[in-house]
Chain A
Amino acid sequence: EAQVTQNPRYLITVTGKKLTVTCSQNMNHEYMSWYRQDPGLGLRQIYYSMNVEVTDKGDVPEGYKVSRKEKRNFPLILESPSPNQTSLYFCASSLGWDRASGYTFGSGTRLTVV
């Protein structure tokens, strides 16, 4: 089944404790992206990657890191999480050449930083 797999689904952590949210897709998509969803703000892009070893900042990159060492994986790293990073996070992927196809989303990660 074609899908984007995110883990974990729920995560509660303490301020300053490094964490990684994993994202993997099995569709050979070139493009991958991370969004955060907050009430009243919709989805805002954190980082995106056009292909392996090619990443760039989205609209809200502060406090986050990403890497794209393999085509299928695009982990999101919070080096020192803070309470304002409490949010719902989505990983998404799409074919690089087929922009009309839209995104395939992961099932989301609910992160709480206390």
Chain B
Amino acid sequence: AQTVTQSQPEMSVQEAETVTLSCTYDTSENNYYLFWYKQPPSRQMILVIRQEAYKQQNATENRFSVNFQKAAKSFSLKISDSQLGDTAMYFCAFGSANTGNQFYFGTGTSLTVIP
């Protein structure tokens, strides 16, 4: 079975600073997908960024970028120029091309952006 680990239950960052959220996963698959989802207080799950394992280039979406280390099975999220609206729970998720569309989620990191 695949597992996803987020070892930082809570984090905080000053507004305009940069913060990195960690995620590691365990799999024997070679073809898979990784995602970061944001859950603000409204509890809506919002896709922040995605990474396909076969792509070596790290994904970037505006202020959000990932550091994907396939050999280390690590997938961290970097948020630059943090904004108050970034305050949310962040979930790392893993999806395998070989196990249908079942996604596995980490336990989440609660991020607070401090004014």
Residue positions of A touching B, CB distance < 8 A: 31, 33, 35, 40-45, 48, 50, 58, 88, 90, 92, 94, 96, 99-103, 105, 107-108, 110
Contact = CB atoms under 8 A, between A and B. Distances in A.
B75 interface: no
A49 B107 CA distance: 24
A100 B50 CA distance: 8
Contact of A45 (B35, B44, B52, B102): B102
On chain B, which size bracket covers the interface?
20 to 34
Contacts of B37: 102, 105
Given A101-B50, A102-B50, 13 more contacts: A42-B106, A43-B91, A48-B100, A58-B102, A92-B45, A100-B33, A100-B50, A102-B93, A103-B45, A103-B47, A105-B37, A105-B45, A108-B45
A99 B33 contact: yes
15 contacts: A33-B102, A42-B6, A45-B103, A50-B100, A50-B101, A58-B102, A96-B101, A101-B50, A102-B50, A103-B103, A105-B37, A105-B45, A107-B42, A107-B44, A108-B44
Contact of A42 (B44, B47, B101, B108): B108
Nearest to A48: B102
B106 A102 contact: no
Interface in B71-102: 91, 93, 95, 97, 100-102
Contacts of A40: 9, 107
A92 B101 CA distance: 11
Nearest to B6: A42
A102 B33 contact: yes
A92 B26 CA distance: 23
Residue among B4, B91, B97, B100 with the highest chain A CB neighbour number at 10 A = B100
Interface string B23-67: 000000000010101000011110100101000000000000000
